Chains A and B, each alone.
Chain A
Amino acid sequence: MEKNTHPLLLIVDDSRMSRMLVRAIVADSRPDWRIAEACNGDEALQIVAEECPDYISMDVNMPGISGLEAAGRIRIRHPEARITLCTANIQESTREAAARAGVHFVAKPITAQSVADAIAFFEA
């Protein structure tokens, strides 16, 4: 089977509203992207094991493993995946941890602007 050429974005967030917001904004500006969702880090790892997404939007504070840990594990196996941490945890320590993990930091709330920032990172 041929690889699907449409980029796959995985949205990982325990908030359904946040997932819906990111999905709606991305679907509007990048209608050809495929979008998958996970509501925690463990579920994200399962999805990544089946098909590694091109892009991942990852919350930090979720039930189970943290988004930072999930992002770190994904980066080990799939260094090519572009990951943004999309989080309300706006402390300098989180920004530094994101930089150390090689992922892009995007502060919540989710707005057209913050999603555009993430998309710009994905496509850079």
Chain B
Amino acid sequence: MSLNELQRDALGEIFNIGVGRAAASLSQIVSDEVLLSAPEVMVVHREQAAKVLLGAELNQFSTVSQSFSGPFDAQAMLVFPESNALEIVRLMVGPHMSIEELSEFEQEAMCEIGNIILNACMSSLADIFHIRFESTLPLHRFGDTYNLPILDGDEEQMVLLLQVDMIISQQRIQGHILFLLSVPSMSALLDHIDRYLSSQGLA
């Protein structure tokens, strides 16, 4: 299953709107400008997604995941290199906390960041397609490329993979957003994209 050029473009633009909203929310939290972009959408099999993450410079990750259910279901996951995660938390809570205090706060802060970014992306899909999702609470975990949840399970799943570039207070942070979808869910997503494009007279 693959996306044609217009479907990929549409999905990229919808997520672009989502991360734009997330950046606005995060900028209110850190009281500074946040540049957040998701330049490219890739659709890959689960094993390939792991390889992309393995190709990242660091292989210790901080992840936040949330499940969304609706006309199609997705397990959404925000993945940052672990060293970046602590930096994001420091930027959120200010420079006055010690490393120990920051570490204590990390789980909660990462859940909040994940909640903002993942919900912004899914809300963008929901608004454009006029659909509704229910979501679980965000779950924060540490992991490496060998025990990330995307490697688990037998079910054939597709992964929508977005590289995220975030710049807060001159700190450049690269992460990934992953959406795991079963084949029927991916097919339902593509149907929604096609219906949307068709309703706009673009397909």
Q: Which of B5, B33, B202 contacts A93 (CB under 8 A)?
A: B33
Contact A24 B33 (CB under 8 A): no
Mark interface residues in B71-89 (1 if CB within 8 Å of A CB, else 0).
0000000000000000000
How far apart are the CA atoms of A84 and B14 in the complex, in Å? 20
Query: What is the size, in residues, of chain A's interface with B at 8 Å between Cβ atoms?
Result: 18
Judging by beta carbons under 8 Å apart, are B24 and A109 in contact?
no
Does A21 contact B24, Cβ atoms closer than 8 Å?
A: no
Cβ contact within 8 Å between B9 and A15: yes
A5-28 contacts to B (CB < 8 Å)? 15-18, 20-21, 24
The binding surface of chain B is classed by DSSP as helix
Q: Which residues of B in the span 1-51 have a Cβ within 8 Å of any Cβ on A?
A: 5-6, 9-10, 12-14, 16-21, 23-24, 27, 33-35, 37, 39
Select which of A24, A63, A88 is within 8 A of B20 by beta carbon: A88
Indicate if the CB atoms of A88 and B202 lie closer than 8 Å: no
> Which among B14, B20, B202 is the interface contact of A20 at CB below 8 angstroms?
B202
State which residues 62-111 of A face B: CB under 8 Å: 63, 87-93, 108-109
CB pair B21–A88 under 8 Å, yes or no, is yes
* Residues in A whose Cβ lies below 8 Å from that of B37: 61
Question: Which one of B5, B18, B21, B124 lies within 8 Å of A16 (CB-CB)?
Answer: B5
Asked if A16 meets B16 with Cβ closer than 8 Å, knowing A90-B24, A91-B34, the reply is no
Chain B interfacial residues counted at CB < 8 A = 28
Q: How far is the CA of A88 from the CA of B202 in the complex (A)?
A: 20
Contact of A24 with B6 in the complex, beta carbons under 8 Å? no
Q: Are B27 and A91 in contact (CB under 8 A)?
A: yes
Interface flag for B201 (CB, 8 Å): yes
Chain A residues with CB under 8 Å of B127's CB are: 109
Q: With a CB–CB cut-off of 8 A, which chain B residues contact A61?
A: 16, 37
Q: Indicate which residue in A17, A63, A89 contacts B202 across the interface (CB closer than 8 Å).
A: A17
Q: Which residues of the other chain, B, contact A17 by a CB distance below 8 angstroms?
A: 6, 9-10, 13, 197, 202
Please, how many angstroms separate the alpha-carbon atoms of A88 and B36 in the complex?
Answer: 10
- CA of A88 to CA of B6 in the docked complex: distance in angstroms? 19
Name the residue on B nearest A27 (C-beta).
Answer: B201
A119 to chain B, nearest CB (A): 17
Name the residue on A nearest B11 (C-beta).
A17
| Nearest opposing residue in chain A for B200, CB measure | A21
User: Per a CB cutoff under 8 Å, which of B16, B23, B124 touches A15?
Assistant: B16
Q: Which residue from B9, B14, B24, B128 sits with its C-beta under 8 Å from A91?
A: B24
Whether A87 contacts B202 by the Cβ 8 Å rule is no
Whole-angstrom distance from the CB of B80 to the nearest CB of chain A?
20
Given contacts A91-B34, A109-B127, contact A16 B19 (CB under 8 A): no
Q: List 5 A-B contacts (CB under 8 A).
A: A18-B13, A21-B200, A108-B16, A109-B17, A109-B127
Q: Which residues of A contact B (CB under 8 A)?
A: 15-18, 20-21, 24, 61, 63, 87-93, 108-109
A87-B20, A89-B24, A89-B35 known; 15 other A-B pairs, CB under 8 Å? Answer: A15-B12, A17-B10, A18-B13, A20-B200, A21-B200, A24-B202, A88-B17, A88-B19, A91-B23, A91-B33, A91-B34, A93-B33, A108-B16, A108-B20, A109-B14
